[in-house]
Amino acid sequence: KQCGEMSTKPADSPAPERYAALALQIATACVNDCPDRAAARDRMAASLVRVGASVAASKGFIRQFSGIDVKLVVLPEYFLTGFPLGESIPVWRDKAALAIDGPEYRALADIAEKSQVYLAGNAYEVDPHFPELYFQTCFIIAPTRETVLRYRRMISLSAPTPYDVWDRYLEIYGLDGVFPVADTPIGRLAAIASEEILYPEITRCVVMRGAEVILHPTSEPGSAERTIKETCRLARAIENQVFVVSANTATIDDIPIPPYTCSAMSKIVDYNGHILAEAAQGGEAFN
């Protein structure tokens, strides 16, 4: 299989149309040094233009040279903003968190529609039910522009989580909203973020709800040695018999951390733990 070619239908079902999944390893232009909200939004807008161009060009390149159509694209963790470096919840919420109906999500829907892909990624987000907080959210946007999945990260180093408002969160969203799975023509899709690949219970919860493909936006240190997250990507795929599509950042720019600290290791893993495609360190790449 090439270009992350995947098929998720049972053996006794009609053969599905082949498609490629794309883990897009792109640079993150962090907004921490932006002096105000307006400057941060301008930087995000520029990043969205770059993302849209990369998605369209990558899809065209893969189609031309493999004959397989890209129908699923996964972007890295917090690809529009980077992560908070000591900013308070109110400051980061104002500077970096997206509104559910805001211009950034509309731009992402434009990308999904224009390239006719399911577009997945991860962003900080404001929920109108909890206006004093923000959540780190994995999303999937369909080619129809509809957001078909919104998963709020359950275990986070630098963001509030549903656990912080657990009773109210369950009252509003129920368990369907805690561990969502999107039933789509390209398979049943679920998402987890970054370090959550280390916790088998989180993946198992969505697999028990029918997930066949686990989308894993991440921003993690790359290494020539096998890391714990790398081991867990393979383990989650094998033990749950699912595909894992993991997209890492190419660089994290505009913060003091060396930019190539979090780079490489974007990959697509099949249900036997075989790596179908992988990106090396060295910058932006599709695989």
Per residue in 91-128, pLDDT (tens digit) is: 999 999 999 999 999 999 999 999 999 999 999 999 99
* Beta bridge pairs of residue 4: none
> Quick check: helix, strand or coil at residue 89?
helix
Burial 126-137 (b: 16+ CB within 10 A, else e): bbeebeebbbbb
The predicted structure's pLDDT at residue 147: 98
Q: What angle do CA 79, 180, 136 make, to 5 degrees?
A: 30
The predicted structure's pLDDT at residue 5: 59
Residue 287 to residue 271: CA distance in whole angstroms: 18
> Quick check: helix, strand or coil at residue 254?
coil
Residue 97 to residue 133: CA distance in whole angstroms: 10
Residue 96 to residue 40: CA distance in whole angstroms: 7
Residue 269 to residue 1: CA distance in whole angstroms: 11
Choose among 201, 196, 147, 154: nearest CA to 178: 154
The predicted structure's pLDDT at residue 15: 53
The predicted structure's pLDDT at residue 2: 32
Neighbour tally for 54: CB within 10 Å: 21
Tens digit of pLDDT for each residue in 22-36? 999 999 999 999 999
Torsion, Cα of 223, 224, 225, 231 (10° steps): 70
Residue 286 to residue 82: CA distance in whole angstroms: 20
The predicted structure's pLDDT at residue 1: 29
The predicted structure's pLDDT at residue 223: 86
First-to-final CA distance of the chain: 12
Note down pLDDT in tens along the chain; length 287 residues.
234 556 555 545 555 578 999 999 999 999 999 999 999 999 999 999 999 999 999 999 999 988 999 999 999 999 999 999 999 999 999 999 999 999 999 999 999 999 999 999 999 999 999 999 999 999 999 999 999 999 999 998 778 999 999 999 999 999 899 999 999 999 999 999 999 999 999 999 999 999 999 999 999 998 888 899 999 999 999 999 999 999 999 999 999 999 889 988 999 999 999 999 998 877 766 66
Residues in the chain, overall count:
287
190 within 8 A of 181, measured Cβ to Cβ: yes
